Amino acid sequence: MHTAKQRDAWAAEPDGVALYVRLTPKGGRDAIDGVETLADGRSVLKARVRAAPENGRANDALIALIASALRVPKSAVAIRAGATSRVKTVFIAGPPELYLDALAKLAPTNG
């Protein structure tokens, strides 16, 4: 069962899933920390990576983190929007039903 807040942090599309992510670079560890609501009301998946936001290293680390967490090849994960922003849209290619339950388990809702 998905909560409304979780569903807002990702959206199924015909050819995959779009994730809305707030990335913290130099976060001390590579981890997904649940779902949070931003000041503007949008829900995002919180992620942190050890990499610095230089030369795309934090984005590469985010792609690797999501690919590992969902057990998909890194080539299936791409930054669709917000490459230089903390809030990004990440796309995971493939049948959406493969990812929706895994995302719900991976991202507990933080109130």
What per-residue confidence (pLDDT) applies to 1?
39
Nearest to 17 by CA among 33, 6, 29: 6
**How many domains are contained in the chain?**
1
Distance CA 110, CA 96 (A): 23
What's the CATH number where 16 sits?
3.30.1200.10
Domain extent at residue 28: 4-97
Residue 70 lies in a domain: yes
Distance CA 94, CA 9 (A): 18
Residue 93 lies in a domain: yes
Residue 102 lies in a domain: no
Sequential pLDDT tens for the chain (111 residues): 344 455 589 999 999 999 999 999 999 999 999 899 999 898 999 999 999 999 999 999 999 999 999 999 999 999 999 999 999 999 999 999 888 888 888 766 544
Nearest to 98 by CA among 75, 76, 65: 76
What per-residue confidence (pLDDT) applies to 99?
87
What per-residue confidence (pLDDT) applies to 108?
61
Distance CA 101, CA 91 (A): 16
Residue 103 lies in a domain: no
Q: Output the DSSP codes for 13-32.
A: ETTEEEEEEEEETT-SS-EE
Residue 60 lies in a domain: yes
What per-residue confidence (pLDDT) applies to 101?
82
Residue 96 has which token pair? 């959406």
